[in-house]
Amino acid sequence: MEDKKGRVPSEVVAKATKEALKRRGVKIEDIAEIVYQMQLPYNAGLLMEDCIDSVERVLRKREVQHSILVGIELDELAEKKMLSEPLQSIVESDEGLFGVDETLALGAVMTYGSIALTTFGFLDKSKIGIIKQLDTKIDSSVHTFLDDLVASVAASAASRIAHRQRDLEEDGNVPEDVHALVLESSSHTK
């Protein structure tokens, strides 16, 4: 699984990240739905496939992958009651003053700039879509980290779309052309 220098190949980390999200009940489309909701008021030509593509590209970033893997691992350990006290109780109850869950998510979102940061803050407070489902405890599952990480990915993907749209508009592309060009330009860049 690792090379001679102890590094884990990117494709192994990417696969583990997607599998962890799936295991926890989060689909790419769930995150893309939030991105769509956040960006549609600013981009009338936005399609769901643009949002899915943007989420996929955000999930290719190592910082994002690492954050997701660490956060999900901590949530799962808390579900199994394998953390030491008082950390077990803090994570299990998603204590309001804990803040480490947001800090981990913020580390990932910082890659995408101030738009991603402010969008993350909004999503952290408003808890829409899958974020709300993860935050609402209905059984013994723990999503203390995951709800914030999903908000981070959604905020990053929304920021990515906003920046690409602005670049295209400044290049003189009319709004009808933006969709095709967003998809075309995103297939060539991260």
pLDDT in tens, 107-154: 989 989 999 999 999 999 999 999 999 999 788 899 999 999 999 999
What is the dihedral sign for C-alpha 14, 19, 22, 23?
negative
**Model's pTM, two decimal places?**
0.88
Tokens of 7: 């590094």
Q: What is the mean pLDDT of residues 12-32?
A: 97
Q: How confident is the model at residue 171 (pLDDT cuts 50, 70, 90)?
A: low
CB half-sphere exposure, 28, CA atoms < 13 A: 17
Q: What is the mean pLDDT of residues 25-32?
A: 98
- The per-residue pLDDT for 164 is 82
Q: What is the mean pLDDT of residues 41-63?
A: 95
Contact 115, 123 (CB under 8 A): no
Largest CA distance in the chain: 58
Q: How confident is the model at residue 32 (pLDDT cuts 50, 70, 90)?
A: very high
Q: In this prediction, what percent of the chain has a pLDDT beyond 70?
A: 87
Residue 45 pLDDT greater than 90, yes or no: no
Residue 189 pLDDT greater than 50, yes or no: no
Residues 6+ apart with CB under 8 A from 178: 43, 45, 165, 168, 169
